[in-house]
Amino acid sequence: MRIIAASVLASVGLSACVSDFWDMDPPAQIALDPALVGALFIDGVEVRSAFYNPPDAFSDIFVPAFRNGATACFDGRRPVRAIVFIHALDRSGDLIAGDGRVRLPGSVDLHDAKGRVIVRYPIRADLPATGGDLTARRTAAAETFGEQLCEQITVTR
């Protein structure tokens, strides 16, 4: 009987925790503290999507291009890690929407050295049809993500 009572209490307690976790609604945007503008540099970049997170050919192209796009506003001394989350990414897909444009919606979180999210911005690459190969489209989308992150941070100034 004690085992059943303990199991019921544990189940109720855990279900309350799970409910609280899933009820959380993180803000869509967390603006950079103005005191940190110009103080940060991107020490690492991780690309995630809904179904597949390990580094792959997409990440291999995306990460350096994202860094290249973001270099203009991340030349400080305080390290942050960028987590780029791509929504609805078909990693092996061609990135071309029905109208021929390159569309890639997502968000970028910056994590400080303690792992806290200090910045979150929704980002969307929406580029005209380039006619280039897949590598060129991935590179252009990634650079756009970095540039748009800089634009968001510049607005903070």
CATH number reported for the structural domain that contains residue 73 in this entry: 3.30.160
Residue 2 in any domain: the answer is no
pLDDT of residue 20: 44
Tell me the per-residue pLDDT of 92-130, one tens digit each, with 9 for 90 and over.
Answer: 566 777 777 888 889 999 999 999 999 999 999 888 876
Tell me the per-residue pLDDT of 51-86, one tens digit each, with 9 for 90 and over.
Answer: 666 677 888 999 999 999 999 999 999 999 999 998
Distance of CA 85 to the CA centre of its chain: 3
- Measure the CA–CA gap between 16 and 23, rounded to whole angstroms: 10
Q: 3-state SS of the chain? A: CHHHHHHHHHHHHHHHHHHHHHHCCCCCCECCCHHHCCCEEEEEEEEEECCCCCCCHHHHHHHHHHHHHHHHHCCCCEEEEEEEEECCCCCCCCCECCCCCEEEEEEEEEECCCCCEEEEEEEEEEECCCCCCHHHHHHHHHHHHHHHHHHHHHHHC
Q: State how many domains the chain has.
A: 1
Residue 6 in any domain: the answer is no
* 91 pLDDT above the threshold of 70: no
Other CB atoms within 10 Å distance of the CB of residue 88: 12
pTM above 0.85, yes or no: no
Residue 57 in any domain: the answer is yes
Cα angle 135, 143, 67 (rounded to 5 degrees) comes to: 105
pLDDT of residue 4: 60
- Measure the CA–CA gap between 109 and 99, rounded to whole angstroms: 29
Tell me the per-residue pLDDT of 1-55, one tens digit each, with 9 for 90 and over.
Answer: 666 655 545 554 544 444 443 344 555 789 999 999 999 999 999 998 876 666 7
Residue 96 in any domain: the answer is yes
* Domain hosting residue 120, numbered range: 27-156
Strands 40-49 and 117-127: unpaired
Residue 84 in any domain: the answer is yes
Residue 68 in any domain: the answer is yes
Tell me the per-residue pLDDT of 130-146, one tens digit each, with 9 for 90 and over.
Answer: 667 888 888 999 999 99
Contacts of 34 (CB under 8 A, 6+ apart): 156, 157
Residue 125 in any domain: the answer is yes
pLDDT of residue 93: 62
pLDDT of residue 117: 96
